[in-house]
Chains A and B, each alone.
Chain A
Amino acid sequence: MEIINDLLLFLPATIVAIGGLTVMMLDGYKARSRTIYTTTMVFLGIALGVASWDLLMQAPELIFSDMAGAGGTAAFGTFIVVFGTFFTVILTHDYLIGVKHNFPQVYPLLMFCTFGMIVLATANDLVTVFVGLETMSVCLYALAGIIRDKRLGVESALKYFVMGAFSTGFFLYGITLLYGATGSTSLPEIGAYTDGGLIYWGGVSLLLVAFMFKVSAVPFHMWTPDVYTGSPTTITAYMSTAGKTASFVALVLILDRAMPFIATELTATFSIIALLTMILGNAVAMVQDNVKRMLAYSSIAHVGYLFVGLAAGSVAGYSAVLFYLLAYTFMNVGAFGVVAYYEKNHDVHFNNVESYAGLGYQRPIMGVLLSIFLFSLAGIPISAGFNAKYLVFSAGIEAGLVSLVVVGVLASAASAYYYLRVMVYLYFREGKESVSLIEPKKVYSFSLVFLALLTLYFGVVPGGVTEMIYGYFSDSMLTATAP
Chain B
Amino acid sequence: MLEAYLPIFVLLGIALFLAIVLAILSRVIGPYRPSATKLRPYESGMDPVGDAKERYSISFYMVAMEFIVFDLEIIFIYPWAVRYKELGLGTFFAVMVFILILTLGLIYTLKKESKNFQISKSTN
A residues sitting closer than 8 Å to B (CB atoms) are: 1-3, 21, 24-25, 27-30
Contact = CB atoms under 8 A, between A and B. Distances in A.
A25 B94 contact: no
Nearest to A25: B104
B53 interface: no
Nearest to B111: A28
Contacts of B34: none
At the interface, is chain A mostly helix, strand, loop or mixed? helix
Given A24-B105, A28-B107, 16 more contacts: A1-B90, A2-B90, A3-B90, A3-B93, A3-B94, A21-B104, A24-B104, A24-B108, A25-B104, A25-B107, A27-B108, A27-B112, A28-B108, A28-B112, A29-B111, A30-B111
Contacts of B77: none
B81 to A, nearest CB: 19
Nearest to B105: A24
A426 B28 CA distance: 83
B99 interface: no
A21 B90 CA distance: 22
Contacts of B94: 3
Contacts of B93: 3
What 8 A-B pairs are tightest by C-beta distance, nearest first?
A: A28-B111, A28-B108, A3-B90, A21-B104, A24-B108, A25-B104, A28-B112, A28-B107
Contacts of A27: 108, 112
B62 to A, nearest CB: 14
A38 B54 CA distance: 42
B15 interface: no
21 contacts: A1-B90, A2-B90, A3-B90, A3-B93, A3-B94, A21-B101, A21-B104, A24-B104, A24-B105, A24-B108, A25-B104, A25-B107, A25-B108, A27-B108, A27-B112, A28-B107, A28-B108, A28-B111, A28-B112, A29-B111, A30-B111
Contacts of B112: 27-28
Interface in B69-108: 90, 93-94, 101, 104-105, 107-108
Nearest to A3: B90
Contacts of B105: 24
B13 to A, nearest CB: 27
Contacts of A29: 111
Contacts of B104: 21, 24-25
A25 B109 CA distance: 10
Nearest to A108: B108
